[in-house]
Structure 1
Amino acid sequence: MVTYPSTTCREATLVDVDAIAACANAAFVADAFFKKQAFAQRFTREDIQAMLSQDHSAFLVVNAKVDDQVATQLAGCIHVEYDAHTGMGHFGSVSVPKEFERQGLGSALVQAAELWLAAKHSAGLWVEICVVNVRHELFSFYERKGYRRTGRLNQDPGFAMILNDAYKHVHTEYMVKYIQLPAVAA
């Protein structure tokens, strides 16, 4: 568990599948304008179950609080994975539904993802993310956290397939950050 002043991020289990789907799909309504209707939802239950069953892959989640009591509804989630072959970390699908925005949950989830990745690697590592070019506010959000634009575009043909005709120009761009792990005192 990763604890923040008022936020606790934890690694999800299969019990959380429906809550992750609800959280991510609610948050990704912001991207619906450039997608074909058939792809409006970010995840299905099966997508999430498959991601949770992969080695070196996890969803980190934050439960909502109601009257200082932890609720079953998720206030945010993030998918994180570590590629043992390349030593590269990745995260994506940072999801905070509108009613929980502007509370620092996105930042807490990114920090939790970085800590999760650092725990998987014994030295510093590169973290790579993909950001949708028409969501300009996301570039500055990640730049404030130390990520830099690479200018390299994600050439995934699956992404182009989900775009509606008016938004064929939409693409994702890679951003990277090197995470230097703190020295451990002897």
Structure 2
Amino acid sequence: MNFRLAEDGDIDRLHTLIESAYRGESAKRGWTHEADLLGGQRTDRKSLKAIVADPDQLIWIAESEEKLRGCVQLSRVGGGLAYLGLLTVDPGVQAGGLGKLLLAHSEDYVRTNWQSEAIEMTVIKQRVELIAYYERRGYQRTGEYRPFPHGDTRFGLPKTKLLEFAVLRKQI
């Protein structure tokens, strides 16, 4: 598996990968989808371009055999904290260890390059299997919850009004 930073030319492929892993019928091939909780889009090309252009954010791409297999977004928060989002693995290769590799690569990167001491993420609280996955990798629930952006279709169409984010953190 090769890791590299995303560039503008990767936006379309990134968008396709992310949507296939989080939404719709293709997402249901994997175990990490949100398709039962949300419809609509997970992200859009404009948001991905903004991440790639921002000096305090980046997206790592995982490729093998010239195919995009996964990605992860990192944001420099400051004060020794980084944020991890959009952890995505192609549904066809989920459960093969790529998610663990992307997490480890991300943690090493922010510790070494941004001098981060902790990494934080938010996960929809109803996704208990996914939260358990992260807990097995050392992330802990902080007890903090953040609101889901209901009404903002850029983040999807909730199938319930009860969605909110649980905050997880790991000391690195």
**TM-score interval for Structure 1 and Structure 2 normalised by the shorter chain:** 0.7 to 0.9
Matched, 1:147 2:153: no
CA contact (8 A) 1:163 1:170 kept: no
CA distance in 1, matches of 2:134, 2:161: 24
CA distance in 1, matches of 2:8, 2:17: 15
CA distance in 1, matches of 2:19, 2:157: 17
Q: Secondary structure at the match of 2:34?
A: helix
| Structural mapping, 1:14-25, within 5 Å | 14-25=8-19
Counterpart in 2 of 1:4?
none
Q: Structure 1 unaligned runs (5+)?
A: 1-6, 65-69, 180-186
CA distance in 2, matches of 1:10, 1:114: 15
Counterpart in 1 of 2:37?
34
Residue 140 of structure 1: CA displacement? 1.3
CA distance in 2, matches of 1:32, 1:41: 10
Q: Secondary structure at the match of 1:110?
A: helix
Counterpart in 1 of 2:44?
44
Which protein, 1 or 2, shows the higher relative CO under an 8 Å CA cutoff with sep ≥ 6?
2
Identity of aligned residues (%): 24
Matched, 1:128 2:124: no
Tell me which of 170, 173, 176 is aligned to 2:169: 176
**Cα deviation digits, residues 44-68 of structure 1 (max 9, x gap):** 211111111111210011113xxxx
Max Rg structure = 1
> Which amino acid is 2:127 matched to?
R
Q: Structure 2 unaligned runs (5+)?
A: 24-32
When the two structures are aligned, how many residues end up with a matched partner? 159
Q: Secondary structure at the match of 1:141?
A: helix
CA contact (8 A) 1:12 1:58 kept: yes
CA distance in 1, matches of 2:20, 2:12: 12
Backbone CA RMSD of aligned residues: 1.6
> Which amino acid is 1:43 matched to?
T
**Cα deviation digits, residues 18-76 of structure 1 (max 9, x gap):** 111111111112213222x4xx2212211111111111210011113xxxxx22x3110
| Structural mapping, 1:52-91, within 5 Å | 52-64=52-64, 70-71=65-66, 73-84=67-78, 86-91=79-84
Residue 97 of structure 1: CA displacement? 2.0
Residue 87 of structure 1: CA displacement? 2.6
**Cα deviation digits, residues 91-133 of structure 1 (max 9, x gap):** 01111121011111111111111112112234x5111110111
